[in-house]
Amino acid sequence: MASKRRGLPEINAGSMADIAFLLLIFFLVTTTMDVDTGISRKLPPMPEEDQPEDDSQINAKNIYVVLINSNNQLLVEGELMDISQLKEGAKRFINNNGVREDLSENPEKAIISLQNDRGTAYKTYIRVQNELASAYNELRNESALEKFGERFIDLNKSQQKEIKKLFPQKISEAEPKNIGGDS
């Protein structure tokens, strides 16, 4: 009879705050803020006025020439190539180590020369940049697995530096030309 008069006991709200904080922390951890992502590149400094051109001593076979025309077609080392094959082509070139006569002597000397037209679509340009970056990343990853048994991103700073020294990302961009027209 006594219990009936008191009715239901009040729910203890003391732990509500804990639950609230738990939720808060959960959201704090899981929410990703709108992060900016992109492909980072470094531009070459402007050439000095009286600086003589001295790019003649680079052996032609160490340069991988990639041209993109205003119709977004690729000309790689003088041959038409589909963009999907660029990664494999670049990897073969970089990691040649003097096997083939017409490709690079070693990855450290390999330079990729990229030239685009003013009429090239930005989308294509980014895709080419992406494929080339991807080629380098894959090579670094393979080398890291071979040397340290770990993926490149899992290595520590000095190990990464070592791999980067083996596969320096040298992408050179020529002064722009206007062949196919702006439109």
Binding residues vs another protein (CB under 8 A): 4, 7-8, 10-11, 13, 16-17, 19-21, 23-24, 27-28, 31, 33-46, 116-123, 125-127, 129-130, 133-134, 137, 176, 178, 182-183
Residue 166 CB, nearest approach to another protein (Å): 18
Closest approach of another protein to the CB of residue 110, in Å: 18
Q: Would you state the structure tokens that stand for residue 79, as one six-digit string?
A: 């041959």
CB of 72 to another protein, least distance (A): 10
Pick 9 or 149: Cβ nearer another protein:
9
CA distance readout (Å), 47 to 54, 57, 100, 170, 175: 12, 18, 34, 18, 11
Q: How far is the CB of 59 from another protein (least distance, A)?
A: 27
Residue 101 vs 175, nearer CB to another protein = 175
Give the β-pairing of 171-173 and 111-116: parallel
Question: For another protein, which is the closer residue by CB, 97 or 178?
Answer: 178
Starting at the edge strand found earlier in the chain, the sheet holding 74-76 runs: 79-81, 74-76, 63-68, 111-116, 171-173
Minimum gap (Å) between residue 171 Cβ and another protein: 12
Q: Pick between residue 61 and residue 131 the one whose CB is nearest to another protein.
A: 131
Question: Rounded distance, CA 142 to CA 128, Å?
Answer: 21
| Contact yes or no for 131/87 (Cβ under 8 A) | yes
Distance CA 80, CA 54 (A): 29
Q: Between 125 and 148, whose beta carbon lies closer to another protein?
A: 125
